[in-house]
Chain A
Amino acid sequence: MPQTAIAPGTNLDGFLVGERIHQGGMASLWTASHPGFDFPLLVKAPVLSEGTDPAAIVGFEMEQMILPRLSGPHVPRFIATGSTGFQPYLVMERIPGPSLLPMLTRLPLACPEVAALGARIATALDDLHRQRVVHLDVKPSNLLTRPTGEMVLIDYGLSHHEELPDLMGEEFRLPYGTAPYMAPEQVLGLRRDPRSDQFALGVLLYFFLTGVRPFGDPQRLSGLKRRIWRDPVPPRRLRPDCPPWLQEIILRCLEVHPAWRYPTAAHLALALRHPDQVKLTARSEKLRQDPFTTVLRRRFADRELALPGGKTPSRSDGDAPILAVAVDLSPEAAPIAGILRSMVAHMLPALPGARVACLNVFKLGRITLDEQVDAEGRNRHLQRLVELRHWAEPLGLEEGRISFHVLQSPDPAGAILQYVNANHVDHVVIGARASSLRRTLLGSVSSQVAAQAPCTVTVVRARRLRGADFKDEPEDKGEGTWTVG
């Protein structure tokens, strides 16, 4: 048993150490408390003794650098760092509740459960990637759930921070990671691509869906490299009830080349939450692995092909944003809808990875249980979808880059904001009608969205001649029309 200077009852600069809850080869974990913090704490101390893996201390140093820079619900809150004698330690928030590890005993899970879990993990990953960190060790034991439901990623010992020296990458010749989950580029030593985490998530979803790991649990580097040229058995072969869209998503995450996966984890979360909007390709239909000749060709292809080239996308760069375009389909807003479309058309060439979500709000005056009205409502809903597609058609975006959503709510601005928050939208484009006196005094959908959205909002207006300002206009009529402005 490696010796550490930390034991139950030790006082670490005011933090009282409780029981040891984990002793691994790399680190020991202890519960802790402090009068200044009213939530459970955790002390993490690297194992330092003759013959321990040097990765233990390097990983600890990386976590010590990265954790204080992270914030938000998807990471454990950093509290303090220090050392007692030669033993360094890290104090952080302890997330109560188990990791996903106990779920392994009840695999395979139902398809909707796999998709919902995947969406929550992808949302957490996107949050992390926005903070310039690639986790590089996404696996069930590193995923915890907050009592409030958010997925929390723990253990940043193998992670890469875009703005910090990568001690882990330089220290070791061999790739570090967890064998079943490691992305091909990570196996080859590339540690800066956020899409590596998508691959690990794809492995996890495949495993949870089928009960089988897609690439097994190889113990040697040669076995790890096999995933570069050998594709996994398609999930639908092991799990005939897996819907094509779910196989499409999982196999896209497991693509060898990062550029063939989703541009960002937010795009992946969006796909998992909107199965009807997933563009199905040959991936979704596959029932067997690639033929032997294809595999052989890949196996002996130029190694350059296996190595991802080009610019590594940076999540914080925002070159693959999710754009939400709020389109007003009412006849009186037709001119602004056209200006809105040309604005989006001008923006898209600069954002080749962008995904566009076209939104329209179906304004409901009241909740109705009348079946006939409900059926009529469904028809009008479909009609709105048709109109949205018609509006977007001149943009010429291929399926998979654009989706259409008709939201139902008595409060258009609230519905748009809810969508923006739930789907981690990066940029809202919304039209505003001429600012009449009434709108200036009472507020408008676009101004409410602009004021409250957690992201960039572009408000598009038709250029008016001076002097036409503040001309009053008639009240909105009818509950079915939604007018932005």
Chain B
Amino acid sequence: MRLALLADIHANRLALEACLEHAQARGAERLVFLGDYVGYGAQPNEVLERIQAEVSRGAIAVAGNHDQAVADEQESMTTDAETAMAWTRGQLGREAREFLASLPLRFEDGPRLYVHASPQTYPPWLYIREGRDARRALEASRAQMVFCGHTHVPALHGITATGQLVSFKPVPAVPIPLPIHRRWLTVVGSVGQPRDGHPGAAYAMLDTASSELTHFRVAYDIQATATSILQAGLPRALAARLRKGF
């Protein structure tokens, strides 16, 4: 089965649609959403409608820190994120809030674990930025494969039978075999706000039959998305960063 794994969409409708279309063309049979559907971007309702529709068709979705922040005003955030979150709260209706509140924090799918940030308990929402973080995260879980987002930077970490850690920066569109007797943690990157210096929307696909993982970067209309952020009166920096991918 081919799974498309998408994280950190952040109210970016065009990026989400571009990734879903891309994944569909490559035979995705199941969608897995790894959290942070809202925040930063200007289309939270459109994005949530699409996610809800996909979930009703069998997609899996877990909650992220921005999704939790809609109901929980105690979540700590940067100034721009806080500004965008305050705006987002004003945009969302009851149905959207209920959908967000209903999302689980983790989902176990056979040997795979789907979480937003890391398998460790929250708060705090931990960032898996380097090998050490990945090691702690894998030690906190028994799943053979962990999939997460949160850092907005695609990465692959593996832990071997002898306890060594392999960290790797995935190359877009190059399938990586994940031997099943090793343990892996994949950060899929961000659909709606990439931060690794590349503006293309990021997501990953796993072929469970061949145990091959492929990261993708997808072009979407950044110009139109940036304009919608400015028109909503959100901080200019949130529009500018989309073009640079940071």
Pair B166/A165 contact, Cβ less than 8 Å? yes
How many whole Å from B144's CB to the nearest CB in chain A? 16
Residues of B within 8 A of A172 (CB): 164
Q: Report chain A residues within 8 Å CB of B56.
A: none
Task: With CB as the reference atom, state the residue of chain B lying closest to A165.
Answer: B168
A residues near B176, Cβ cutoff 8 Å: 65, 164-165
Asked if B165 CB lies within 8 Å of chain A CBs, one says: yes
How many cross-chain pairs have Cβ atoms below 8 Å apart between A and B? Answer: 35
Q: How far does the alpha carbon of A167 sit from the alpha carbon of B160 in the complex, in Å?
A: 9
Question: Given B162, B167, B171, B174, which contacts A171 in the complex, CB threshold below 8 Å?
Answer: B162
- Give complex CA distance A61, B164 in Å: 15
A164: chain B residues within 8 A (beta carbon): 168, 174, 176
Q: Report yes or no: A171 in contact with B156, Cβ–Cβ below 8 A.
A: no
CA distance A57 to B179 in the complex (A): 11
- The docked-state distance in angstroms from the alpha carbon of A49 to that of B166 is 24
Name the contact of A163 in the complex, choosing from B158, B166, B171 (C-beta under 8 A): B171
| Residue on B nearest A57 in the bound complex, by CB | B161
CB of A64 closer than 8 Å to a CB of B? yes
Point out the residues of chain A lying under 8 angstroms from B167, CB to CB.
165, 170
Q: Is the CB of A167 within 8 A of B162?
A: no
Q: Does B27 contact A (CB under 8 A)?
A: no
Q: Is the CB of B171 within 8 A of A170?
A: no
Residue among A65, A164, A165 with the most chain B CB within 10 A? A165
Minimum distance in angstroms from A437 CB to a CB of chain B? 43
Nearest-CB distance from B103 to chain A (Å)?
31
**Is B58 interfacial (CB-CB < 8 Å)?**
no
> A65-B177, A170-B166 in contact; A165/B161 too (CB < 8 A)?
no
Q: Given A58-B160, A65-B177, verify A167-B171 contact (CB < 8 Å).
A: no
**Bound complex: CA A170 to CA B164 (Å):** 7
Find chain A residues with CB under 8 A from B164 CB.
Answer: 170-172
In the complex, the chain B residue whose C-beta lies closest to that of A167 is B166
Given A54-B161, A58-B160, CB of A166 within 8 Å of CB of B179:
no
Distance to closest chain B CB from A312 (angstroms): 14
Which of A54, A64, A163, A166 is close to B162, meaning CB atoms less than 8 Å apart?
A54
Q: Do residues B177 and A64 form an inter-chain contact, with CB atoms below 8 A? A: yes
In the complex the two chains form, what is the Cα distance from A319 to B54 in whole Å?
Answer: 46
Contact flags A454-466 to B (C-beta < 8 A → 1, else 0): 0000000000000
The CA-CA distance from A171 to B161 in the complex, in Å, is: 10
Check A165/B160 contact, CB under 8 A, given A64-B177, A170-B166. Answer: no
- Is the CB–CB distance between B179 and A61 below 8 Å? yes
- The answer on a CB contact under 8 Å between A163 and B160 is no
Query: What distance in Å separates the Cβ of B177 from its nearest Cβ neighbour in chain A?
Result: 5
A408–B165 Cα distance when bound, in Å, is 58
* Cβ of B218 to closest chain A Cβ, rounded Å: 19
CA distance A115 to B183 in the complex (A): 47
| CB closest residue in chain B, given A64 | B177
- Residue-wise, chain A 162-184 has the 8 Å CB interface mask toward B (1 for contact) of 11111100111000000000000
Report how far A58 CA is from B168 CA in the complex, Å: 16
Instruction: Give residues of chain B (161-194) contacting chain A, Cβ–Cβ below 8 Å.
Output: 161-162, 164-168, 171, 174, 176-177, 179
Chain A residues, Cβ within 8 Å of B171: 162-163
Q: In the docked arrangement, what's the CA distance between A165 and B182, Å? A: 13
Residues of A close to B168: CB separation below 8 A: 164-166
Q: Which residues of B contact A163 (CB under 8 A)?
A: 171, 174
**For the complex, what is the distance from the CA of A57 to the CA of B158, rounded to whole Å?**
15
Bound: A54/B164 CA distance, A: 12
Q: How far is the CA of A355 from the CA of B158 in the complex (A)?
A: 41
When each residue 283-320 of chain A gets 1 if its CB lies under 8 Å from chain B and 0 otherwise, what string results?
00000000000000000000000000000000000000
| Chain A residues in 8 Å Cβ range of B158 | 165, 167
Of A61, A162, A165, which one neighbours B156 at CB under 8 angstroms? A165
For A162, list chain B residues within 8 Å (CB). Answer: 171
Is B166 touching A166 in the complex (CB atoms < 8 A)?
A: yes
Bound-state Cα–Cα, A61 to B162, Å: 14
A61 to B174, CA, bound (A): 17
CA distance A164 to B33 in the complex (A): 25
- Would you call A171 and B177 a contact (CB within 8 A)? no
Q: Which residues of A contact B165 (CB under 8 A)?
A: 170
- From the candidates A64, A65, A171, name the one contacting B160 in the complex (CB within 8 A): A171
Please name the residue on chain B nearest to A173 by beta carbon: B164
State in angstroms the CA–CA spacing of A163 and B176 once bound together.
8
Q: How far is the CA of A167 from the CA of B162 in the complex (A)?
A: 12
For A61, the chain B residues whose CB sits under 8 A away are 179
CA A233 to CA B166, docked complex, whole Å: 40
Instruction: State how many angstroms separate the Cβ of B192 from the closest Cβ of chain A.
Output: 26
Q: Distance in Å from the Cβ of B50 to the closest Cβ of chain A?
A: 32
Q: List residues of chain B with CB within 8 A of the CB of A65.
A: 176-177
Chain A 323-366 interface 0/1 with B at a Cβ cutoff of 8 Å (1 = within): 00000000000000000000000000000000000000000000
Minimum CB distance partner of A161 in chain B: B174
B179: chain A residues within 8 A (beta carbon) = 61
Residues of B within 8 A of A171 (CB): 160, 162, 164, 166
Expressed in whole angstroms, the Cα–Cα distance for A297 and B167 within the complex equals: 37
Digit string of A248-291 for contact with B (CB within 8 Å is 1, else 0)? Answer: 00000000000000000000000000000000000000000000
Instruction: Tell me the smallest distance from the CB of B88 to a CB of chain A, in Å.
Output: 37
Minimal beta-carbon separation of A70 from chain B (angstroms): 14
Task: Give chain A interface residues in 157-213, CB to chain B under 8 Å.
Answer: 162-167, 170-172
CB neighbours (8 Å) of A57 from chain B are 161
Contact with B along A113-155 (1 / 0, CB 8 A): 0000000000000000000000000000000000000000000
Interface 1/0 per residue, B123-162 and A, CB below 8 Å: 0000000000000000000000000000000001010111
A57 to B160, CA, bound (A): 11
CB distance from B165 to the nearest CB of A (A): 7
CA of A419 to CA of B34, assembled, Å: 55
List A contacts of B160 (CB < 8 A): 58, 167, 170-171
A-B pairs with lowest CB-CB distance, top 10: A165-B168, A170-B166, A163-B171, A163-B174, A165-B166, A171-B164, A65-B177, A170-B164, A54-B162, A61-B179
18 A-B residue pairings within 8 Å (CB atoms): A54-B161, A61-B179, A64-B177, A65-B177, A163-B171, A163-B174, A164-B174, A164-B176, A165-B158, A165-B168, A165-B176, A167-B166, A170-B164, A170-B165, A170-B166, A170-B167, A171-B160, A171-B164
Known pairs A162-B171, A167-B158 / 4 extra A-B pairs, C-beta < 8 Å: A54-B162, A64-B177, A165-B176, A170-B160
Which A residues are closer than 8 A to B by beta carbons?
54, 57-58, 61, 64-65, 162-167, 170-172
